[in-house]
């Protein structure tokens, strides 16, 4: 059969070359379709291989309403928090013979909506939204409209973070984890705290700060001296720590809303000659893999990030489209490390004057 190299082989070509109808060729090639005789199936498969025919996944999705493609939208794939969740999703997807299409939203809610719309147009089987929801009604309504349209066609959606959409959700108990962390730091003798917080419009940042405040309220004599906000990035932590130090407060300990921010904040202290934990103790949240190379080892709230991704994928493959949303709660575990020794074992709080350097 002579065909131009620029003209892809179609299902009609396969049917014609095999001497069968288009419907028979389709049933022979597409798993789950109505069965055909074994002799015809072999004939069609042999012909397809000879012509180097590849099935059109999107066309199959249109015909059957399903596909093997799963969309995964993350805020920042360079952040170890999201890469660990993505690893869990992909490992679980492999076990179910599913393909994962990854979208990086660059921490933009508007871009997240655009990515979701693109995945909906591709007729993916499901979309997993990994990352904090925002405190913006207009943006939330726009995303929900996309979600509703996708679900109306049989698509499935799973959210990781907060339960703010009418879909299955892996809820991360950020508030409770931060509350427990504050209490643990209080038990170590720390009393004067600063917080390097995330963007205030992100619910994750709000909940972690709220939980930390609640924990401090249970510690006699504890006080939150200052809160500064920055991006959930290493550079965001670095810049926010500079703002905190400029206030020249006598602090015992700094809580960073994420580990990656803590890494940047600790680097800022090194730049200024402030010893961690000798002059200032530090704690973070997430327990990202990068912490294995951080000195001193960082006290944090451990989240089972890869397991979270696996759980989200499990909800994709087990949920019926019309079932009520299911919630899977994930608790954090406080892990005390060298960055927060007992207060009486340190040489003193943050020394006045260092913040002005």
- CATH number for 322: 3.40.50.2300
Instruction: Please indicate, yes or no, if residue 41 is contained in any of the structural domains.
Output: yes
User: Is residue 201 domain-shared with residue 347, that is, in the same domain?
Assistant: yes
Residue 194, domain extent? 174-302+335-356
Q: What is the pLDDT of residue 152?
A: 86
pLDDT value for 134: 96
Q: How many domains does the chain have?
A: 3
Q: What is the pLDDT of residue 84?
A: 98
Cα torsion angle, 115, 120, 126, 132, sign = positive
Tokens 């810049």 belong to: 239
Tell me, yes or no, whether 1 lies in a domain. Answer: no
Residues 178 and 298 in one domain: yes
For residues 232 and 352, state if they share a domain: yes
Cα 251-257-260 angle, rounded to 5 deg:
105
pTM of the model: 0.80
Q: Are residues 193 and 278 in the same domain?
A: yes
Q: What is the pLDDT of residue 8?
A: 65
Cα gap 342→92, rounded to integer Å: 41
Looking at residue 33, its pLDDT comes to 47
Residues 212 and 349 in one domain: yes
Averaged over successive runs of 10 residues, the pLDDT of the chain (357 residues) comes to 54 88 78 68 87 61 66 96 98 95 96 94 92 95 94 91 96 98 98 97 98 98 98 97 96 98 98 96 96 94 98 90 86 98 72 44
* 60: in domain: no
**Cα distance between residue 78 and residue 205, in whole Å:** 19
Q: Name residue 102's beta-bridge partners.
A: 72
pLDDT at 253: 98
Which backbone phi and psi does 163 adopt, to 5 degrees?
A: -85, 85
Report the relative pairing of strands 327-330 and 156-161 from DSSP bridges. Answer: unpaired
Q: 93 and 157: one domain?
A: yes
């Amino acid at each position: 059969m002579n065909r131009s190299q620029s003209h892809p082989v179609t299902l009609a070509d396969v049917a014609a070359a095999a001497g069968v109808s288009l419907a028979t060729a389709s049933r022979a090639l597409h798993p789950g379709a109505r069965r055909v005789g074994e002799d015809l199936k072999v004939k069609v498969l042999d012909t397809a291989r000879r012509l180097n025919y590849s099935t059109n996944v999107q066309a199959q999705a249109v015909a059957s309403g399903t596909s093997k493609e799963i969309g995964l939208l993350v805020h920042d794939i360079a952040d170890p928090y999201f890469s660990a969740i993505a690893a869990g999703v992909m490992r679980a997807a492999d076990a179910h013979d599913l393909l994962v299409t990854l979208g990086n939203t660059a921490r933009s809610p508007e871009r997240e909506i655009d990515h979701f719309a693109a995945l909906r147009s591709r007729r993916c089987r499901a979309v997993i939204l990994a990352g904090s929801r925002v405190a913006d009604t207009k943006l939330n309504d726009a995303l929900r409209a996309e979600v509703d349209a996708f679900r109306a066609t049989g698509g499935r959606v799973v959210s990781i973070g907060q339960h703010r959409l009418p879909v299955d959700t892996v809820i991360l108990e950020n508030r409770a984890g931060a509350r427990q962390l504050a209490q643990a730091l209080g038990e170590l003798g720390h009393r004067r705290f600063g917080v390097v917080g995330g963007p205030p419009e992100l619910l994750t940042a709000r909940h972690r700060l709220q939980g930390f405040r609640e924990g401090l309220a249970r510690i006699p004599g504890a006080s939150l001296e200052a809160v500064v906000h920055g991006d959930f990035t290493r550079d965001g932590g670095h810049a926010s720590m500079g703002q905190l130090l400029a206030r020249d407060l006598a602090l015992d300990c700094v809580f960073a809303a994420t580990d990656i921010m803590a890494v940047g904040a600790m680097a800022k202290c090194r730049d200024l000659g402030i010893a961690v934990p000798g002059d200032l103790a530090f704690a973070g949240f997430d327990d990202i893999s990068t912490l294995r190379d951080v000195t001193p080892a960082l006290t944090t709230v451990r989240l089972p990030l890869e397991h979270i991704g696996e759980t989200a994928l499990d909800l994709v493959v087990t949920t019926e489209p019309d079932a009520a949303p299911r919630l899977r709660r994930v608790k954090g575990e406080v892990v005390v490390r060298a960055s927060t020794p007992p207060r009486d074992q340190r040489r003193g709080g943050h020394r006045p004057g260092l913040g002005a350097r």
